Amino acid sequence: MDSGVKKPGVTSSQVAEHAGVSQSAVSRTFTPGASISPKTRAKVLASAKILGYRPNAIARSLITSRSRIIAVVMAYLENLFYPDVLEELGRALAAENYHLLLFTGFMDRDSDPVFDQLMQYRVDGIILASTSLSSELSEECATAGIPVVLFNRTTERDAVSSVTTRNREGGKRIADFLVAGGHKSFGYIAGLENSSTNRDRQEGFMDGLAAHGFTEAIVETGNYSRSEAEDAARKMLSRPDRPEALFVANDHMAVAVMDVARYEFGLSIPEDLSIVGYDDVGPARWTSYGITSMSQPLKRMVEATVDILMDQIASGEIEAEHRILNGDLVVRSSARLPKTGIVALDGRKLYRPRDV
């Protein structure tokens, strides 16, 4: 299949002809609450699936008349990184005279169940943040000429673009920082184990430790959930071989881990335990937490996402494009400091060793 060229959509009349029913029967099939026999409905749905028809989604009018709506599917608004992303996306899309339509997806699996709903709006593009679509639906979007961009996730699928940061390098930078701070034992509290961001951060962290001769780190899983991060922290901090330093896969969980360490175990941060997070958002910047965190350049990530969408909408060519941006390790008070490598820039302290 040539995913770089728009193909004409399937019409309801074609579905009616294929199913051997009237066009009004097709309309009633896709109208909630409309009267239609189960047998006729089943025939229409079978023909629609064979022909690849979705009402209002793969329509000829998309070629000449745009809805100017971009669907944003988010699954993790509990993490303050994503409300910030949503606000910035709204601004960037408005500047292009596009509207943002928000749908709630699933963090731990593909968000296919919301696909039918969002496609009723004849959206011109789809942004998936902290979630994804199956390969089948990704290909269907490409066939319909609807660009899809994964935000803060990566993919190997030919029809889907992505914008993310160098998570593997970020994990390695954190390992370098903690080793340079004199720590000898380490732990990692993981996010969703099947997510690309978690996988890359963990692999980078482990590779970074190994480069310094540390081949082991204790791992617990928090699944990007506050309550599960708290449980993971309790398990890790109850161990007789409790690590001296923790890398937590994002700031949302790092706050929970710090609360458990301070208020349940009576530990002083960073004297008894160093904690480093990821994202550099929300409470990480509050003086009561002051979490050292690997930043994600949110504004530049949003700009890249909108740029990809606008280019593909204008050209009508759906070809995967992957942009990977750099972040910085922002140094605050939650971890013991290295003797060298910390620089001041634009009012922030950053860890930038000479070889970076």
DSSP string, 139-193: HHHHHTT--EEEES-----TT-EEEEE-HHHHHHHHHHHHHHTT---EEEEES-T
Q: Name the percent of the chain in helix, strand, coil, to the closest 5.
A: 40, 20, 40
At residue 316, the pLDDT reads: 83
The dihedrals phi and psi of 63, each to the nearest 5 degrees, come to -75, -40
* Topology classification of domain 167-295+328-351: Rossmann fold (3.40.50)
Tell me which DSSP letter residue 1 carries. Answer: -
Give the helix ranges, DSSP H, for the chain.
Answer: 12-19, 23-29, 38-51, 61-64, 81-95, 115-119, 135-143, 167-180, 196-211, 226-237, 251-263, 298-315
At residue 142, the pLDDT reads: 76
Question: CATH assignment of 1-53?
Answer: 1.10.260.40
Question: In the beta sheet, which residues pair with residue 350?
Answer: 330, 343
How far apart, in whole angstroms, are the C-alpha atoms of residue 12 and residue 25? Answer: 10
At residue 107, the pLDDT reads: 61
Contact 186, 163 (CB under 8 A): no
Topology agreement, domain 66-152+297-325 and domain 167-295+328-351? yes
Q: How far is CA 7 from CA 120, 149, 271, in A?
A: 19, 20, 62
At residue 351, the pLDDT reads: 97
Domain ranges of the chain: 1-53, 66-152+297-325, 167-295+328-351
At residue 352, the pLDDT reads: 94
In tens digits, the chain (356 residues) has pLDDT values of 343 333 456 788 888 989 998 888 887 887 656 788 888 989 988 998 888 887 653 443 444 457 889 999 887 778 788 889 999 999 999 999 899 999 887 665 665 677 777 777 888 999 988 776 666 677 777 777 889 998 988 776 667 899 999 999 999 999 999 999 999 999 999 998 888 889 999 999 999 999 999 999 999 999 999 999 999 999 999 999 999 999 999 999 999 999 999 999 999 999 999 999 999 988 899 999 999 999 999 999 999 999 999 999 988 888 889 999 999 999 999 999 999 999 999 889 999 987 55
| Pairing label, strands 148-151, 125-129 | parallel
Question: CATH assignment of 66-152+297-325?
Answer: 3.40.50.2300
Contact 124, 69 (CB under 8 A): yes
Q: Which of 308, 282, 256, 222 is nearest to 83 (CA)?
A: 282
Token reading at 85: 């992303």
Contact 86, 74 (CB under 8 A): yes
State which amino acid sits at residue 148. V
